[in-house]
Amino acid sequence: MKKISISALIVSLFLSTSLFADGHGEVNIFNARHYKADAELYDKFTAKTGIKVNLINGKSGALEKRMIEEGSDSKADLYITADAGRCGAFDAKGMLQGGLTSAAIKSAVPKNFRTNKWVGIAKRARIIYYSPERVTGAELSGMTYEGLADPKWKGRLVIRKSSNIYNKSLVASLIANNGKKATAEWAKGVVANMARPSEGNDRAQIMAVAAGEADIAVANTYYLALMLSGKKGAEQQEAAKKVKAFFPNQDGRGTHMNISCAALVKGAPNKANAIALVEYLLTPEAQEHFTNNTFEFPMIGGVSPSPLVVNNLGLDFKQDLTTKVSTYGKNQAAALEVMTAAGWK
C-alpha cells in the first residue's frame, strides 16, 4: 500500500511539470545574454503583448548543442547570444530559418548587421585601452589592430585567452581583411608582446592596465562604462579613471564592431511571437534600455549611447561597416587555429 502511494506521489510530482502547456501566448528563448536589463525588457514585452517569455539560460555553446540534439523536437524559438560569430556558425549548421524580414526590422537595422535568419540587437566595439601615464600620443597615433603585433609593445600588452569568443571574432575579422597567412604571423607577434600569459575576463585586462601590469589592453567598450558607473564598487570606478579608450583603425576600415544577435531557430513553434519580440527589442524604448543598462551601442538610429559611454569613450568614431559580421562565424575555426598555433593560451 505504502509503495503504491509513494509511486503515485512520484508520478504526480513528475506530471506537475511535464504537463507544461504548449500554449499559444509564449515565446521560448535559448538565452546566452544574462543581463538584468534583458530580463526587464522581456517583462515589459509580456506586459505589452501578453506573450509569456520562457527562458533557458546558459553559455552559448551548451545551448546550441542542446538545440541541435533536440532537433525537430526543440521548443526553441529564438536564440539570443552576444556574438555575431555564434549566430553565423549556428546558421551554417542549418539550425536557423528565414523570417526576420519584416519592414520594421529591415528599416531599423543596417544591412551588414543582419541576415533574414538573425538580426543584431545591440552593438559593441572591441577597442584598445591604454594608460595615459605610460603610453604617449605619438605611440598611439594611427594605431590599428594590426599594430598590436608591433615589437614596440613588447611586454606591454594584455588580452584574454584565445578560447574567448570576442577574440575569435576579432581575429576572424582580421582574417577576412588580411588573409589567414598574414593573421597567423600577426598572432605570433601579439603573443610575443604579451605582458603575461592570457588570463581573466575583459574587465581584468582593463584593471591590469590600471594597476600597472601592462600599458595597453584589448577589451570591449561596455566594460569600462560598467566600471565607471560604480556598479562594480568605488575602487573599480577609481581604477577605470586611470585608463583611456582608443578606437583603432580610424584611418582605414574603422573599429571592429560586434553585435548581440537574435536568431530565429528552425522549427520554432512560436515563430510569429519570436518575430514580434525581435521587433520589440529594436524599438527606441528597448534600445534606450539596453544602452543605459548594458552600456552597449544602439543598433538603430535616433537613440544615443549612455552618457557614460559618450563622455568617456567618445561617440564620434568610425565603425567598421565594411567587414560583414557574418564572416566572423565563417572564419571562427581558422581564427582559433592561428591563435593556437601561435601559442596564444
Partner 1 sequence: MKFNFWYISSLAISLTIIIPIFTVFTSFFEDTSNYFEILKQTFFLEYIFNSLILLIGVIFLTFFLGVGSAYIVSFYHFPGSNFFKWALILSFAVPPYIYAYSLFAFFENYGTAFTILKFLFGEGNYNKHIPKFSGMFGLILSISFSLYVYVYLLARSSFLYQSQNLIELGKNLGFSKFRSFYTIILPAARPAIVAGLSLVAMETLAEFGAVDFFSVNTLTTGIYNAWITFDDLAFANRISFFLLLFIFLLFITENLSRKKARYHLEAKGGFKKKEKIKLNGLKSFFAFSFCFILFFLSFLFPLSQMLYWTIKFPENFFDLEIINLFLNTLYLVSLSSLVLIFFALISNYGNRVSNKKILNILSTLSISGYAIPGVILAIAFITFIAWFDENFVKSFGVVSIKKLFIGSILGLVTVYFIRFYSLAFNGIKSGYEKMNICVDESAYLLGYSKSKTFLNIHIPYLRNSLLFVVILISLEIIRELPITLILRPFNFETFATTAYISASEDLLEAAAVPSLCLIVIASFFILLTSKYILRVDNE
| Interface residues toward partner 1, by CB under 8 A | 2-3, 6-7, 9-10, 13-14, 17-18, 20, 28, 33-36, 54-59, 61-62, 64-66, 69-73, 75, 161, 163, 199-204, 207-208, 210-213, 223, 231-233, 235-236, 238-239, 336-337, 340-341
- Which CB sits closer to partner 1, 238 or 251? 238
Query: What is the C-alpha to C-alpha distance for residues 195 and 155, in angstroms, rounded to an integer?
Result: 4
As measured in angstroms, the least distance from the Cβ of 166 to partner 1 is 12
State how far the Cα of 249 lies from the Cα of 191, in Å rounded to an integer: 20
Q: Which helix (H) or strand (E) holds 336?
A: helix 332-341
Interstrand relation of 26-31 and 118-130 (parallel, antiparallel or unpaired): unpaired
Give residue 306's identity as a one-letter amino acid code. S
Q: Compare residues 114 and 203 and give the one whose CB is closer to partner 1.
A: 203
- Residue 272's Cβ-side half-sphere holds a number of Cα atoms within 13 Å equal to 4
265 backbone dihedrals φ, ψ, rounded to 5°: -80, 140
Residue 255 is classified by DSSP as B
Query: Minimum CB separation from partner 1 for residue 173, in Å?
Result: 19
User: Which is nearer to partner 1, 48 or 59 (by Cβ)?
Assistant: 59
Cβ proximity to partner 1: between 146 and 337 the closer is 337
Select 177 or 236, whichever has its Cβ closest to partner 1.
Answer: 236
With residue 91 as reference, give the H or E element that holds it.
helix 84-92
The residues near 94 (Cβ < 8 Å, ≥ 6 apart) are: 266
Residue 133 is inside which H or E element, if any?
Answer: none
Question: 235-242 contacts: CB < 8 A, separation 24 or more?
Answer: 236/203, 236/207, 239/206, 239/207, 239/210, 239/211, 240/206, 240/210, 242/131, 242/133, 242/209, 242/210
Which one, 108 or 170, has the nearer CB to partner 1? 170
235 vs 285 by CB, closer to partner 1? 235
Q: Would strands 26-31 and 78-81 be described as parallel, antiparallel, or unpaired?
A: parallel
Least CB distance to partner 1 at residue 56 (A): 5
Query: Of the two residues 87 and 108, which places its CB atom closer to partner 1 in the complex?
Result: 87
